[in-house]
Chain A
Amino acid sequence: MENKRRSFLKFAGVSVLGLGSLSLLDGLTSDDVNASSGKASAEATYKKTANALTAKRWGMVVDTRKLNDRICKKMEKACHEAHNVPDHENKNHEIKWIWEAHYNHVFPGKNDEFLQERLKELPIPVLCNHCANPPCVQACPTQATFQREDGIVLMDFHRCIGCRFCMAACPYGSRSFNFRDPREAIKPENENKEFPTRTKGVVEKCNFCAERLAVGKQPACVEVSKGALIFGDLGDPQSEIRQVLKDNYAIRRKQNLGTNPSVYYLV
């Protein structure tokens, strides 16, 4: 009896090990780079074409002087449709990549009693800041969230274990978690087949439209912003975005935390 059980256990152990190493080999040899390293997977997810837009460090300027409620709503819609962001009824389950907030919430440290009248009710878009020094990347235990060479902070939805450490680490509340199956809350007629839908139990956020840059397109929100959003290369002194920053005083969210956000606001 004792002997039998032992040999069974041995057999079971060896089988499990065998299966494990098989799948490991599978992962190493398969074309699906998703299984190996984070950086490689991002490169693979967004296959670059010849006319891909590239930069040393992508950044964005939000010109609040050109904003109004209609434009903000449009940006939100364009982004959420392009990325299959579900629309859940329960506020606890909410997913948002870009949304509008008021000045006092966008810049809680700059809360002003005598704020300029225009800014009081002005909707201001907030999104992932693609920080040069991102606390979410530091916190992630699996490198499922990582920073690309061009500064974009991305997510590998297949690697994320859903621990939500990145959400605690983000000082901007830019991340959302799939508390339930997102696919149930995407209308089939709205689904964008070019972009993956997610599964429940993973975190997601704005990706600066890395998939659109790869085929030579500007981010979806920028396209509909009527000039309120300027997107470009912060690493190139000749770029339009650098020119705008040279000519205007811009602020960033919670600059004092040292995260070095790549999204600037002209107020």
Chain B
Amino acid sequence: MLEKALKGSIAYWIWVFALLGIIAVGFGFYLKQLDFGLGITGMSRDVSWGFYIAQFTFLVGVAASAVMLVIPYYLHNYKAFGRITIMGEFLAISSVIMCILFIIADLGQPIRLLNVLLYPTPHSMLFWDMLVLSGYLLINLVVGWNVLDAERNSVPPAQWIKPLIYLSVPWAISIHTVTAFLYCGLPGRGFWLTAVLAPRFLASAFAAGPAFLIILCLLVRKVTSFDPGKEQIQSLAKVVVYGSIVNLFFFLCEVFVAMYSQIPEHLDHLQYLFFGLHGHGILVPWMWTAMVLIVSGIILLLIPSARRNESVLVVACVFTFIGIWIDKGMGMVAGGFVPNPLHEVNEYFPTFAEVMIGVAVYATGFLVLTMLYKVFIGVKEELAE
């Protein structure tokens, strides 16, 4: 089937080469990072994780959100999603690949990465994260590919695939839970030390992931002859609004606990993010933008006539996606590190080189996604003929 990704229109190849160009530029910056060290980023002794780890966290969510298609289709027999479930699984594959690349970009000694397997350490959450992420990648590759191949041959998928599909449901939950456990099990980091972190990660993921999938569906309908379907897109929109509301609710619970208890270790970080602390507040405009985007997204999606209008829907999805991206991809990590353990404020903002390396990772993800979707749509077109 893979050969379908190698045959395409001129526009397809322009897109592929544009992505390759971006990857090449970002790789140049990565070589610089390998040579100089992580000092080319904005990270410091106090904010020792930054843009890379934040993107990793956000993308684990996008990957996990494939489960929002798998559950209705396979567990509730909601037939409409059968048309696009593979799109969700392929999105998960490219997201996990980006996650792995972001982790590698963040390592000081990437060449020693396999030490994690050479000295397996079950008491480290990072060890488990590596296991569940690679497992999730494998499950989605096997399931997505086999189901598509069966569809192409007009036969039902092999029986042995079913247990794997069921396994993928708890597995998807596990990848984002373990990712939250990286943060929320650390003593002395009050911003993350909350049991609601994993549930909130999942809720925001189930909003941002499907929101992105809706945008992809509309794009696919526009540039190919395959229509993911009106009903499918509308059902996804409902998933997005539920996810986004639950995420907002969890966030407000967080705010209440911190503000009402007034325990400084919890309150200071929120105050830094939304109002600034001791005269430092580089993220304040970002965080308020995120809040406005998330809330407007919810309002637009809640109004039935707005949701049904696809040009409004796409705006709502972009709002939701960007809002959650800022919250998780900018605020969540830096906010946990400021103020530092000695209650000093040293701020973080990514450097140009850091962002370019990140953009290249995203371009790699898009390249994988493009090729997988090309195969998927190729099969659909073949069947339609």
Contact = CB atoms under 8 A, between A and B. Distances in A.
Given A161-B115, A165-B182, A201-B38, A105 B126 contact: no
B186 A161 contact: no
Nearest to A93: B39
9 contacts: A92-B39, A141-B121, A164-B49, A172-B341, A173-B45, A173-B341, A177-B38, A200-B108, A257-B187
Contacts of A96: 45
Contacts of B346: 91
Contact of B344 (A93, A105, A172, A200): A105
Interface in B86-132: 103, 106-110, 112-113, 115-116, 118-119, 121, 123-127, 130
A144 B42 CA distance: 25
Interface string A94-128: 11100001001110110100000000000000100
B35 to A, nearest CB: 9
Interface of A: 38, 90-96, 101, 104-106, 108-109, 111, 126, 135, 138-144, 159-165, 167-173, 176-181, 199-203, 254, 257-259
Contacts of A140: 121, 124
B285 interface: no
Contacts of B222: none
A201 B342 contact: no
A209 B6 CA distance: 60
Contacts of A173: 45-46, 340-342
Given A108-B343, A142-B115, A257-B188, A161 B107 contact: yes
A138 to B, nearest CB: 5
A160 B121 CA distance: 13
B94 to A, nearest CB: 23
B188 A201 contact: no
A180 B37 contact: yes
Contacts of B127: 141
B134 interface: no
B115 A159 contact: yes
Interface of B: 36-39, 41-46, 48-49, 103, 106-110, 112-113, 115-116, 118-119, 121, 123-127, 130, 182-183, 186-189, 264-265, 336-337, 340-344, 346
B131 to A, nearest CB: 11
A168 B49 contact: yes
Nearest to A92: B44
B109 A161 contact: yes
Contacts of B119: 38, 142-143, 159
Nearest to B130: A141
A101 B119 CA distance: 37
Given A144-B115, A163-B103, 4 more contacts: A104-B343, A159-B119, A163-B108, A167-B48
Contact of B112 (A38, A139, A159, A257): A159
Interface centre among A143, A161, A200, A259 (most CB of B within 10 A): A161
A126 B182 CA distance: 26
A177 B48 CA distance: 8
Contacts of A180: 36-37, 39
A38 B118 CA distance: 12
A162 B187 contact: no
Contacts of B264: 108
Contacts of A138: 123-124
Given A105-B342, A108-B342, A201 B189 contact: no
B334 to A, nearest CB: 12
Contacts of B123: 138
Nearest to B263: A109
Contact of A164 (B48, B112, B113): B48
A200 to B, nearest CB: 4
Given A176-B45, A257-B188, A141 B124 contact: yes
A179 B43 contact: yes
A106 B340 CA distance: 11
A139 B186 contact: yes
Contact of A179 (B37, B106, B118): B37
B187 A142 contact: no
A171 B189 contact: yes
A71 B42 CA distance: 34
A92 B45 CA distance: 6
Nearest to A135: B187
A96 to B, nearest CB: 8
Interface centre among A95, A164, A178 (most CB of B within 10 A): A164
A91 B44 contact: yes
Contacts of A126: 342
A104 B264 CA distance: 13
Nearest to A164: B48
B211 to A, nearest CB: 29
B27 to A, nearest CB: 18
Nearest to A176: B45
A94 B346 CA distance: 13
A126 B342 CA distance: 10
